[in-house]
């Protein structure tokens, strides 16, 4: 179902490799479960990390059409907010 990929990868610089890979996998699974197509503007931020949350919001706002935001506990035990845009 997915046809897009990361259109703004700056958020990735703020997260460890393990979390970046995990986040992309979670976004793909979530979009497929929901049946969302044409996903883009992947994003992830550690919950309550001010710098990451600002960047998350900026990426979300540059996307168009639908937007999905959800939370997951990462492999490191921390809670992350993940999201993407869809339906372009």
Lookup result for tokens 């372009």: 88
pLDDT attached to residue 1 = 40
Closest CA to 45 of 71, 26, 7: 71
Instruction: Work out the average pLDDT over 75-88.
Output: 94
- pLDDT for 63-77, tens place per residue? 888 999 999 999 999
Query: pTM of the predicted model, to two decimals?
Result: 0.85
Task: Give the whole-angstrom CA distance, residue 73 versus residue 5.
Answer: 22
Instruction: Work out the average pLDDT over 72-84.
Output: 97
- pLDDT for 25-65, tens place per residue? 999 999 999 999 999 999 999 999 998 998 888 888 888 88
């Amino acid at each position: 179902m997915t046809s897009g990929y990361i259109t703004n990868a700056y958020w990735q610089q703020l997260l460890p490799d393990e979390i970046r890979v995990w986040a992309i996998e979670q976004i793909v699974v979530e979009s497929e479960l929901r049946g969302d197509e044409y996903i883009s503007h992947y994003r992830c931020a550690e919950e309550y990390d001010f710098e990451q949350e600002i960047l998350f919001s900026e990426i979300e706002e540059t996307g168009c059409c639908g937007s999905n935001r959800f939370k997951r506990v990462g492999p490191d035990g921390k809670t992350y907010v993940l999201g993407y845009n869809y339906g372009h």
